[in-house]
Amino acid sequence: MRNCSHRTVRPLPLLLWLALAIGAGPAAAAPDCTVALWGDSILYGGFGASLTNRIKEPPAAAIKRIRPAWTIADFSSPGDSAHKRLPTFVLQPMPARVVVLQYGINDAGNGYQYEPALRGMVDYVQAAGKTSIVTGLSKVKADRLPLRDGYHATAQRVAQEEGVLFADWGAVRFDAADMVDDVHPRQPYSTRLVERLVLALDQVAPECAPRVKRG
């Protein structure tokens, strides 16, 4: 009868077992870095009567440059207002994780009922399980928009009462020389506004910001 050779089976080292277990597990889910921009010509980066009149780097492009991980859907539209947008806004799907609401300039210019419209937008976004960021109103040249300060304060109060982030565009450094006209920013002021908005995005989703390298 032929003898059968026997092999000795040795247990794998513990570290190797751990490596195999980690490798076999599901890949870590990618962070949700999606944002939708809703607002007027300031967020659009436009000026003048034509949609083709835009600063070199509109806010959507500036966000992408500063925070490349974000996927941006730009629904901003020159001349838009919270008052006019609300009826169709609440019929829109809200797939993005973050929804930026930049309204108020045209509401103030026309004396529209701003608070109920803005609050309705925030409520709709929250009901969809998404996160709102309210920017407040950018600054304009002196005496150009008498209701601007009051509407900005309303935006801040609505954000506070609704428990959403307020980017406070009114606190961004303003220089009249950085304006195309009385209302619309040139590139330097627009970029400063975007930088303030990016800080709010970082609060919502720090995992979407570049990792800080430690020396």
Domains and CATH numbers, the chain: 31-207 (3.40.50.1110)
pLDDT class of 211 with cuts at 50, 70, 90: confident
Span 140-179, pLDDT tens digits: 998 899 999 999 999 999 999 999 999 999 999 999 999 9
pLDDT at 115 over 70: yes
pLDDT tens digits, residue range 92-110?
999 999 999 999 999 999 9
- Euclidean distance between CA atoms 193 and 103, whole angstroms: 14
Q: How far apart are CA 139 and CA 174, in angstroms?
A: 7
**Is pLDDT of 17 > 50?**
no
Q: Taking residues 109-120, report their average pLDDT.
A: 98
Q: For residues 141 and 175, what is the distance between their CA atoms, to the nearest angstrom?
A: 9
pLDDT band at 14 (very low <50, low <70, confident <90, very high): low
> Does the pLDDT value for residue 38 go beyond 80?
yes
- ∠ CA 84-86-87, rounded to 5°: 90
What does the pLDDT look like over 51-101, one tens digit per residue? 889 999 999 999 999 999 999 999 999 999 999 999 999 999 999 999 999
Among candidate residues 131, 121, 122, the one with its CA nearest the CA of residue 162: 122
The whole-angstrom separation of Cα 116 and Cα 200 is: 23
Residues 183-204: pLDDT tens digits?
A: 999 999 999 999 999 999 999 9
Paired sense of beta strands 131-134 and 165-166, if any: parallel
In percent, how much of the chain has pLDDT > 70?
85
Average pLDDT over residues 42-55: 91
DSSP string, 125-173: HHHTT-EEEE--PPP-STTS-TTHHHHHHHHHHHHHHHT-EE--GGGS-
pTM strictly above 0.95: no
